[in-house]
Amino acid sequence: MISGDFIVEKITYIFVNIFSITLYIVVIFLVSLGELSVKIIILPTELLLNFFFKLYLNVKKTKPQNVFLVTKHSVKWVFLKLYDVFYVIKKRIISTITGLVEYFRGNYLQHFVYGFMTCLAVFVLYQSYSFINNLPNPYLIGKVNFSQSTHLYDRNGKLLYEIYRDVNRTSVHIEDLPDYIIQATITIEDKNFYNHMGISFFGGILRAAKDTYRTKDLQGGSTLTQQLVKSALLTPERTISRKLKEMLLAVWTEQIYTKDEILEMYLNQVPYGGSSYGIEEASKVYFGKQAKKLTLSEAALLAGLPKAPSIYSPFIDPDLAVKRRNQVINEMFKLGYITSSARDGALAEDLIVQPPTTNIRAPHFVMYMRTLLEKEYGSKKVEESGFEITTTLDLEIQEKVELILKEELEELTDRNVSNGGVIILDPKTGEIIAMVGSEDYFKDSYGAYNVTTALRQPGSALKPVLYAMALETGGFTAASRIDDSPIIFQVPGSES
């Protein structure tokens, strides 16, 4: 049978050794403090040791001759074993510190530097791992923070409306765009795009440092790839931490994607002002055309917008927008992207942008369709998933019906008729061919109200249905006479 003394001795041995290992780690940092380190460690141990020893003396009432020969069954045995543990610990501490002090004697500074550098290296490695481990994945570019508008078309493919929440975006492929759109973007945003691996030391990092020193604001110096990851994966705050993430992600992104893929994602990702994101929607908003139909001058203007859309917008400051456009065109000529004749022609082109408008056709029908879609898929999915929906509406017939309704209402003005609605259906399929819900959808008072879908009292329109049911029963004929006089029913207990 294993005795209690044997178990306690083994536990004591294990405890002391664990404590000693911990002690070695602590002492390596405290030893440079010299004798003070000994006092820091010894003092708490000495206090505990004296506490248990005095506690034992109070139990025994007399000073023991040999504390290790006390009977194990007495109460004082517990206190003596505790005393034994701390006694051994004290000896081990003194021995350890004495040895370390001797080892480091005369070399405090050298070993302190070694220890400090080791700890610093471990700290830096840990922080670097934690920092990199929390970076978003570049594979998510184009998948997160990349909502696309839902497009509604008529039966012949004509655009009726774009449904979106805060971001109006339509993706395009880079091969469908003219070369000068890409060249204009590279010219003004990142001239060395094809020569760097995500970050530019001389053109980017040093310029950012200079701008930060002069303005006390962390900004500038970003490559096109950095701008892409910042827009797609990061928050906009200007901090050193965010800038480091931006640089690391830019290098990582360059290892995953080709230059053309990065350019395509950039042209579809970045904001061009207001709710317009991506070159395709910017082209529609400012010039009313698809991006592939832009002229060199128009492409140069759009290329200059992402840096500061609210400043260079032709809606806000046309003169500054032209100045920015001309800067892009001249830089394109210097880099050899365009000829002198192309430059002169683009500079001479007048800036003609379409005024800000709400592009919606057949508005009552569009809003009716939107309601149906949101019931089926939910508003978030409809506004952000980029659905391409072809409807049954014929826009040509729709526009004719809108014109006819206005003409008819004008003729009925003297009869106090001010509003009306028209719906044309295919009786075989139930398809809606045209829907006009009011005289003018944009009238403040009642324009958005859709007369064609509103619930109304059927009135006499219901009579044929009721008469048909009466005739089918056989109790009535076309010659039957019905008493149409008022009938009053007296309910018991009610007032007469």
3-state DSSP of 431-490: CEEEEECCCCCCCCCCCCCCHHHCCCCCHHHHHHHHHHHHHHHCCCCCCCCCCCCCCCCC
Query: Which are the contacts of 148, defined by CB distance < 8 A and separation ≥ 6?
Result: 169, 170, 171, 384, 385, 386
Which residue, among 386, 385, 383, has the nearest Cα to 163 in the 3D structure?
Answer: 383
Measure Cα distances from 137 to 141, 218, 223 in Å. 8, 24, 19
3-class DSSP assignment, residue 78: helix
Structure tokens at 303: 């290329």
**Residue written as tokens 């004798």?**
35
Positive/negative CA dihedral, 240, 246, 247, 249: positive
- CA distance linking residue 146 with residue 133, whole number of Å: 23
Query: Which are the contacts of 477, defined by CB distance < 8 A and separation ≥ 6?
Result: 471
- CA distance linking residue 202 with residue 210, whole number of Å: 11
**Residue written as tokens 């901090």?**
239
Q: Burial, 81: exposed, middle or buried (Cβ in 10 Å; 0-12, 13-18, 19+)?
A: buried
Choice among 3, 460, 480, 485 that is catalytic: 460
Query: Which are the contacts of 203, defined by CB distance < 8 A and separation ≥ 6?
Result: 191, 192, 221
Which residue, among 365, 146, 156, 155, has the nearest Cα to 271 in the 3D structure?
Answer: 146
Query: Which are the contacts of 297, defined by CB distance < 8 A and separation ≥ 6?
Result: 325, 329, 345, 346, 347, 349, 351
3-state DSSP of 4-26: HHHHHHHHHHHHHHHHHHHHHHH
Strand 271-273 vs strand 168-169: parallel, antiparallel, or unpaired? unpaired
DSSP 8-class letter at 361: S
Positive/negative CA dihedral, 106, 109, 113, 115: positive
445 as an active site residue: the answer is: no
162 as an active site residue: the answer is: no
| 268, 147 contact by CB (below 8 A) | no
| 282, 181 contact by CB (below 8 A) | no
- CA distance linking residue 29 with residue 31, whole number of Å: 6
Longest dimension (CA), the chain: 135
Choice among 162, 189, 331, 383 that is catalytic: 189
Return the active site residues.
189, 460
